[in-house]
Amino acid sequence: MTRASFRFPDGFHWGAATSAYQIEGSPLADGAGPSIWQRFTHTPGMTANGDTGDIACDHYRRYKGDVQLMKALGLHGYRFSINWARVLPEGPGRVNPKGLDFYSRLVDELLENGIVPHATLFHWDLPAALDDRGGWLNRDSAHWFAEYAQVMFKALDDRVPRWGTLNEPWVVTDGGYLHGALAPGHRSKYEAPIAAHNLMRASGAGIQAYRAHGKHEIGVVFNIEPKYPHSDSAEDLAATRRAHAYMNEQFADPALLGSYPPELQEIFGDAWPDFPDDDFKLTKQEVDFVGINYYTRAVVKQQADAYPLQAVPVGQPNKTYTETGWEVFEQGLTDTLIWFKQRYGDIPLYITENGSAFYDPPVAENGELDDPLRTSYLRKHLKALHRAIEAGVNLKGYYAWSLMDNLEWSLGFAKRFGLYHVDFATQQRTPKATAKLYARVIESNGAVLDD
């Protein structure tokens, strides 16, 4: 038998991902405290259509059915996040056993169905009680996070073999502290580097706690968006370097190299703090893996009045763009993985998110939903991933974003990334054509991509 060219290595881990606030609903149930996302979505004008996570996919109550959706796809693993404020409603101190119990039941349900749980400790929903104490601007946040992490490790590490500290700290600080489009909605170039630094101190403190209490694997997840210059002018090349340092190195460097790239000082000027050297002993910890979330690239040009990078993305003619305005550019995934290995060494990697929002037609009478643009996106990106493996990248697995349509943060429910379509009026889930392709990819370990 000839070997299919897109077959993935034996043991390759196929999964799908979600996050707590985007799917769970019942945000204040069973003694949970509010998170900053609860507050943000309930502040008029902050989300499209006034959408909130009050119900979302009602996963908090329907999790057993959702595990069956995963099983129907043949998923090996499921990456979900824990809502910190369910577990520690007042920030530090009192543990809420009912909040903890939800995640314990979810993990048991996954294991009973042969699905490996991958738990993320922080996917943006900081307890509001901690935001009231300054949130990520407070240096104590590293201790708060380590305390929370410890509670979770003690409760679940016997059953959860793979943990992530933070999901996409860049988005937290760029959206939450620099531009204000995401919770907690601040707009300050003075705050953003401080929040970023404390996030990486917290991640480091969480990993240290894991070494004391955990027995399996822990890592951290970065969103990487490769930057390509619009022209080879010195200005555009410098702008591209700044954009790349800001988005792709600002978090991975302190975590994996114990330093910051020099461009950050250039970008932030007087807002760039003089961080104590000792902090880097905390930020730089040995990780068992790194998760990379990849969606798109940016082509960059210099623009003097663009705050604060003096760089802007340039639209590309004759390219497909998703509903979130992102160019479909699969070569960027291969390039990203190769770059990551070159800069940070041969760390085991997972693609912890990859996917696309496209307009979906209503479910047809025969129960089918054809989503050709998303299907094509998945095919192209899996092939690009395979090319990275052939180039020697140590890639262990892939999690599609997302298991099902959900609350796309401030963009509301209109942007649909799901493998499963969700009718938010009835909570009916329907597999899209992409879900069916993905099930065949998993079953054939990629060989179906040869067709």
Letter for the amino acid at 63? Answer: Y
Which residues, at least 6 apart from 313, have a Cβ–Cβ distance to it below 8 Å?
Answer: 298, 299, 300
Do the Cβ atoms of 290 and 345 come closer than 8 Å? no
**Token pair listed for 209:** 């706690």
String of contacts with ligand BGC for each residue 199-228, x by CB under 6 A: ------------------------x-----
Query: By CB under 6 A, what part of segment 281-320 binds ligand BGC?
Result: 293
Do the Cβ atoms of 21 and 54 come closer than 8 Å? no
Mapping DSSP to helix (H, G, I), strand (E, B) and coil, where does residue 74 land?
Answer: coil
Which residues, at least 6 apart from 214, have a Cβ–Cβ distance to it below 8 Å?
Answer: 153, 157, 163
Q: Least separation, in Å, of the C-beta of 285 and ligand BGC?
A: 22
From candidates 171, 239, 309, 449, binder to ligand BGC by CB under 6 A = 171
Strand 289-293 vs strand 349-353: parallel, antiparallel, or unpaired? parallel
- Name the active-site residue from 168, 249, 263, 330: 168
168 binds ligand BGC (CB under 6 A): yes
Do the Cβ atoms of 260 and 253 come closer than 8 Å? yes
From candidates 12, 14, 19, 260, binder to ligand BGC by CB under 6 A = 19
Nearer to ligand BGC, 126 or 448 (CB): 126
Q: Least separation, in Å, of the C-beta of 413 and ligand BGC?
A: 12
From candidates 66, 236, 353, 371, binder to ligand BGC by CB under 6 A = 353
Do the Cβ atoms of 291 and 164 come closer than 8 Å? yes
Q: Least separation, in Å, of the C-beta of 377 and ligand BGC?
A: 13
Nearer to ligand BGC, 174 or 236 (CB): 174
Q: Least separation, in Å, of the C-beta of 210 and ligand BGC?
A: 21
Q: Least separation, in Å, of the C-beta of 22 and ligand BGC?
A: 6
Mapping DSSP to helix (H, G, I), strand (E, B) and coil, where does residue 90 land?
Answer: coil
Q: Least separation, in Å, of the C-beta of 51 and ligand BGC?
A: 13
Mapping DSSP to helix (H, G, I), strand (E, B) and coil, where does residue 195 land?
Answer: helix
Which residues, at least 6 apart from 352, have a Cβ–Cβ distance to it below 8 Å?
Answer: 17, 79, 118, 164, 167, 221, 291, 292, 293, 399
String of contacts with ligand BGC for each residue 41-80, x by CB under 6 A: ----------------------------------------
From candidates 167, 285, 410, 434, binder to ligand BGC by CB under 6 A = 167
Contacts 24+ apart (CB under 8 A), 416-420: 416/323, 416/357, 416/358, 416/359, 416/360, 417/355, 417/356, 417/357, 419/16, 419/73, 420/69
Distance in angstroms (rounded) separating the CA atoms of residues 150 and 387: 38
Q: Least separation, in Å, of the C-beta of 213 and ligand BGC?
A: 26
Distance in angstroms (rounded) separating the CA atoms of residues 241 and 261: 10
Q: Least separation, in Å, of the C-beta of 170 and ligand BGC?
A: 9
**Token pair listed for 198:** 């404390």
Using the contact rule CB under 6 A, the part of the chain among 53-61, 111-119, 166-174, 263-271 near ligand BGC is 166-174
Nearer to ligand BGC, 8 or 401 (CB): 401
Nearer to ligand BGC, 141 or 322 (CB): 322
Nearer to ligand BGC, 18 or 96 (CB): 18
- Name the active-site residue from 109, 191, 263, 353: 353
Nearer to ligand BGC, 107 or 407 (CB): 407
Q: Alpha carbon 254 to chain centroid distance?
A: 19
Nearer to ligand BGC, 125 or 131 (CB): 125
Letter for the amino acid at 106? Answer: L
Distance in angstroms (rounded) separating the CA atoms of residues 310 and 407: 32
Nearer to ligand BGC, 74 or 185 (CB): 185
Using the contact rule CB under 6 A, the part of the chain among 163-171, 183-191, 229-237, 254-262 near ligand BGC is 163-171
Helix 372-390 and helix 433-444, axial crossing angle in degrees, nearest 10: 30
Residue 24 is among the residues annotated as catalytic for this protein = no
C-alpha separations of 191 from 12, 178, 235, 263 in Å: 40, 7, 27, 18
From candidates 401, 413, 420, 438, binder to ligand BGC by CB under 6 A = 401
Residue 365 is among the residues annotated as catalytic for this protein = no
Residues making contact with ligand BGC (CB under 6 A): 19, 22, 167-168, 171, 223, 293, 353, 401, 408, 417
Residues annotated catalytic, as ranges: 168, 353
